[in-house]
Structure 1
Amino acid sequence: MKETGYIVSTNGEYASVVFKRGSACGENCGSCKGGCEVSAVTTQIKNTLGANVGDKVKVTLEQKVFNKMILWVYVFPLVMMVIGIGFGINVFKDAGYKNYELFSFLLGMVALAISYLILNIVSKKMRNNNDCSLRMVEVIKG
């Protein structure tokens, strides 16, 4: 994954880089007339290139790492919720509860909450892993 952003501030060996988020219409907002607002995301990146405030930089993240992050953020919570609901249906139906669907749904929501707690722990461990971080690869002159 490659993105281009602007450095808005530097602090020691780190730089705050702003990335413009892509719009749903593919940056052709004049044709869709949806009126969506394109927001920006700011993140701290190690300034390995010695870039200065106002510089445009190209930032990269290895595709394998990006795919792993997507799997953790989107697929893992969904799987946990489905497992919770499926387990709840089997347990509560066999136990003779009339509202087994409601109890199963609630168990699925508990499993979803647990998945987010697990994701929080994984996120803290990944933050310390240099393989999972964004890297500046080029200062774009322009």
Structure 2
Amino acid sequence: MATEEGIVIKVSNSGTAWVKTTKSSSCEACAARDSCHSMGGGKEMKVETINTAGAKVGDKVIIGFETASLLKAAFLVYVFPILSMIAGAVIGQEVAPNYNFSAPYASVTLGFMFFFLAFLLVRIMGIKMSKKEEYRAKIIRIKRGKKTEDLSEVA
């Protein structure tokens, strides 16, 4: 399980909490990264988490992401578009002679078409995945006795 440390800045009645945390390399592959919001374009960000631990505003918490979900999301973001581009290039190479097209031209054209279609599919799948609980961050532990002193700079 991938974990990050943060501070709860808002708790909602719907069972979620907003946690201020620092961006890490894990964020790039996360399917739920659309539910996170950068604070001022820096390294700090707010993450909407499932509040299973009952955290309150000001609590220091550990949030976690399922490793299997993280790997699936990483495959979808990084590997799937490249495989799609290669498939498009191979298909273009094979079908070009049947339609009297230049094989390199058809290969490049279909390769890039498949690549961009893969990104569209990744975007659609990312939106669907971010709604599923298994792809969302969860508060897994509250670090007791470590409340923030000044919440004005957090909010």
The alignment's TM-score, normalised by the length of structure 1, stands at 0.74
After superposing the two structures, state which structure 1 stretch, 115-124 or 71-80, moved more.
115-124
Q: What does residue 18 of structure 1 align with?
A: 20
After superposing the two structures, state which structure 1 stretch, 10-19 or 58-67, moved more.
10-19
Structure 2: 5+ residue runs without aligned partners? 26-40, 147-155
CA contact (8 A) 1:14 1:45 kept: yes
CA contact (8 A) 1:22 1:38 kept: no
Paired residues, number: 128
Residue 41 of structure 1 aligns to a residue whose secondary structure is strand
What letter matches 1:134 in structure 2? Answer: A
Residue 18 of structure 1 aligns to a residue whose secondary structure is strand
Gap change, CA 1:93 and 1:4, over 3 Å in 2: farther
The alignment's TM-score, normalised by the length of structure 2, stands at 0.69
Structure 1: 5+ residue runs without aligned partners? 24-36
What letter matches 1:9 in structure 2? Answer: K
Q: Deviations over 1:96-136 (max 9, x none)?
A: 434x4244222212112211222233223323322222211
What letter matches 2:132 in structure 1? Answer: N
Q: What does residue 4 of structure 1 align with?
A: 5
For residues 133 and 65 of structure 1, what CA distance do their matches in structure 2 show? 9
What letter matches 2:7 in structure 1? Answer: Y
